[in-house]
Amino acid sequence: MKFAKDFDRSYLLLVIPILRLSWPILYYRVRVRNAIPFIVLWYLYQSSHRRPNVIPVAFLKQYFSLTFLAWACYLVLPFLYGHYSAGSPLADMFAFRVTAAISLCVEFLSMFAIVQISLATGKFRELKFCTITAVFPLVWAGIASLYGGSHVAAHGGSARILSALSQRGEKSFEFYEMANEAASLGMGGSEGVYLSAFIIPLQLVSIAYVNGWKKWAFVAAALLECIAIQYGGLQTPILITAAGIILVFISRKYKGRQILGCGIIMALGMIWFSFNPRIFAAFSGPLRAIGYYTEESFPQMSERFLSTANSVEGDKDTYAYMRYELQQRAAKEFAKGNLLVGRLFKRGPGGGGHSELLDCLASYGLLGVFVIGVFWYAYLKYCNELAKVSLGGKWLALPYIYAGAWFFSSVPNPARLGAPTMMLVVPGLAVFFTDFERRWGIR
């Protein structure tokens, strides 16, 4: 096979670390420390067998380093701020754990470095392989949902069941048995479901830039990921997917910062909505119809849609409105605290605990949002330079759609900044583009 000719077999060491990030069958059975040796061995091999660079990387390294530095700063903000949430119900959520921080750093750096090293040294087939490996658990989750989805739908969905395994609280033996079965099948956990929500819009963009079987493969992958979201039992990924698709349409006319700006505007709209849900009262009918339609097959989803319909009609005694109140609480905590540094000099919970952006404002003030801004500035500058020297301009819509969707999702959800899988997949998709393959003479 042409694909396997001169393939760098050291990349096979990355299979387990990549799959572990979003595949429950490994995520709940393989600890991060067990995957780290594979990453270290791969990096040592690459360091000792480095090919000559095919693209200039000196300028890329500046933004690569700044991206990681900003991400690391955001990671250690709880440590820098001290135990500001000590004694509060949110203490565990905002606590800084050294071991977990080191593991996250290894995951982030390794996925980011795969892209940097592969593109710099011309190992494009190897990057394709890593991208396929990263997307495989998300696609498999859709396939598994076709087999076991009806079994878990009545109990909240696969993502909700699997997430509960890592949370405190008493569960029945039957519940754990069901969760283990869902994990064994490879059904989507919360991490995989959210990743699918971000990746589906990127795949829809990519469909226009690939030919032949790749086009159908991208379509099939997006459909199966939609099925995984459907049986995941979480509603926020549906919103993220919808927001991402809106940005896809916007990207047909606008480019770069305009796409990001639209995502930020959507995020501001979500904040406004959390304070005044009735602005979407006109949508109560469709929401209620979806709720009734899914009542038997997806009771958890049905309850959420009906709850949201009641909320936009003005009912404040609903689960959905309780979620909006968490976002309101975070915004109010930010307004009452130090606008610049948040709760640096004040103890207490930093927010409502369910909004990445608003909780960041409440906890760390504008300093926290500045760190987030630096991360996205550095990462998008990195992507712009990468487009110039390697991936081409057609690819550049992908990172901006991802950034815009992230800002939108950061309001209703504790969105993970710089998810390692996304750092690999976003540029990894571009290697499949027909234009890229022609310019670099690969298949």
Backbone dihedral angles phi then psi of residue 341, each to the nearest 5 degrees:
-120, 10
Q: What is the pLDDT of residue 294?
A: 74
Residues in the chain: 443
Question: What is the per-residue pLDDT across 173-192, written as a single tens digit (0 to 9) for each?
Answer: 666 777 777 777 778 888 88
Q: What is the pLDDT of residue 232?
A: 84
Question: What is the per-residue pLDDT across 234-287, written as a single tens digit (0 to 9) for each?
Answer: 888 888 999 999 999 999 888 888 999 999 999 998 888 888 888 878 878 888
Pair 427, 119: CB distance under 8 Å: yes
What whole-number distance in Å separates Cα of residue 377 and Cα of residue 418?
A: 12
Question: What is the per-residue pLDDT across 327-368, written as a single tens digit (0 to 9) for each?
Answer: 888 888 888 878 888 877 766 656 667 788 988 888 888 999
pLDDT-derived band at 404, boundaries 50, 70, 90 = very high
pLDDT-derived band at 88, boundaries 50, 70, 90 = very low
Is residue 1 scored above 80 in pLDDT? no
Q: What is the pLDDT of residue 169?
A: 56
pLDDT-derived band at 442, boundaries 50, 70, 90 = confident
Our CA dihedral for 342, 345, 346, 349, rounded to 10 degrees, sits at 50
Question: What is the per-residue pLDDT across 370-379, written as a single tens digit (0 to 9) for each?
Answer: 999 999 999 9
Q: What is the pTM of this model?
A: 0.90
Backbone dihedral angles phi then psi of residue 410, each to the nearest 5 degrees:
-70, -10
Q: What is the pLDDT of residue 349?
A: 59
C-alpha separations of 369 from 54, 136, 205, 410, 436 in Å: 36, 33, 29, 11, 35
Question: What is the per-residue pLDDT across 373-402, written as a single tens digit (0 to 9) for each?
Answer: 999 999 999 999 999 998 988 899 999 999
pLDDT-derived band at 82, boundaries 50, 70, 90 = low
Q: Which residue has the higher pLDDT, 206 or 314?
A: 206
- Residue for token pair 């919103």: 239
Q: What is the pLDDT of residue 59?
A: 84
Percentage above 70 pLDDT, the chain: 87
pLDDT-derived band at 413, boundaries 50, 70, 90 = confident
Is residue 86 scored above 50 in pLDDT? no
Question: What is the per-residue pLDDT across 28-53, written as a single tens digit (0 to 9) for each?
Answer: 778 888 888 999 999 999 988 878 88
- What value does the mean pLDDT take over residues 122-128? 93
Q: What is the pLDDT of residue 108?
A: 94
Pair 231, 153: CB distance under 8 Å: yes
Residues 6+ apart with CB under 8 A from 398: 202, 205, 206, 426, 427, 429, 430
Q: 338 forms bridges with which residues in the sheet?
A: 342
pLDDT-derived band at 91, boundaries 50, 70, 90 = very low
Closest listed residue to residue 247, CA positions, set 438, 398, 419, 84: 398
- What value does the mean pLDDT take over residues 411-417? 87
Q: What is the pLDDT of residue 92?
A: 47
Question: What is the per-residue pLDDT across 47-71, written as a single tens digit (0 to 9) for each?
Answer: 888 788 888 888 889 999 999 999 9
Is residue 83 scored above 60 in pLDDT? no
Is residue 300 scored above 70 in pLDDT? no
Q: What is the pLDDT of residue 166?
A: 64
Our CA dihedral for 255, 258, 264, 270, rounded to 10 degrees, sits at -90
pLDDT-derived band at 153, boundaries 50, 70, 90 = low
Q: What is the pLDDT of residue 65?
A: 95
Q: What is the mean pLDDT of the chain?
A: 84
Is residue 112 scored above 90 in pLDDT? yes
Closest listed residue to residue 145, CA positions, set 221, 87, 25, 225: 225
Q: What is the pLDDT of residue 98?
A: 74
